[in-house]
Amino acid sequence: MKLGLLTAALGQMPLDQIAAWAPQAGYRALEVAAWPVDSRHVHQAAHLGVAGFTAVDAARVNELMDSHGLSISAVTYCANNLHHDPAERDRIHRHLRACIDTAASLGVGKVTTFIGRDITLPVADNLKQAERHLPPLARYAADRGVRLLAENCPMEGWHPDGYPANLAYSPELWDWMATLGFGLTYDPSHLPWLGIDPLDALRHALDTGIVGHVQAKDIQIDQRARTRYGVFGKTATRTCPTDVGWWRYRVPGCGHLDWNQIIDTLYAAGYTGDIAVEHEDPVWGGTLDRTLHGMRIAARTLQPLIITQPAAPGRER
3-state secondary structure the chain: CCEEEEHHHHCCCCHHHHHHHHHHHCCCEEEEEECCCCHHHCCCCECCCCCCCCHHHHHHHHHHHHHCCCEEEEEECCCCCCCCCHHHHHHHHHHHHHHHHHHHHHCCCEEEECCCCCCCCCHHHHHHHHHHHCHHHHHHHHCCCCEEEEECCCCHHHCCCCCCCCCCCCHHHHHHHHCCCCEEEECHHHCHHHCCCHHHHHHHHHHHCCEEEEEECEEEECHHHHHHHCCCCCCCCCCCCCCCCCEEEECCCCCCCCHHHHHHHHHHCCCCCCEEECCCCCCCCCCHHHHHHHHHHHHHHHHHHCCCCCCCCCCCC
In this prediction, residues 48-58 reach a mean pLDDT of 96
Where do the structural domains in the chain lie, given as residue ranges?
Answer: 3-305
In this prediction, residues 137-149 reach a mean pLDDT of 98
Q: 3-305 belongs to which CATH class? A: alpha beta
Predicted pLDDT of residue 232? 87
Q: Report pLDDT digits (tens) over 17-28.
A: 999 999 999 999
Q: What is the overall mean pLDDT for the chain?
A: 94
Q: Report pLDDT digits (tens) over 279-310.
A: 999 999 999 999 999 999 999 999 999 986 54
Task: Tell me the pTM.
Answer: 0.94
Predicted pLDDT of residue 48? 96
Is residue 311's pLDDT more than 50?
Answer: no
Q: Report pLDDT digits (tens) over 206-246.
A: 999 999 999 999 999 999 999 999 988 999 998 887 889 99
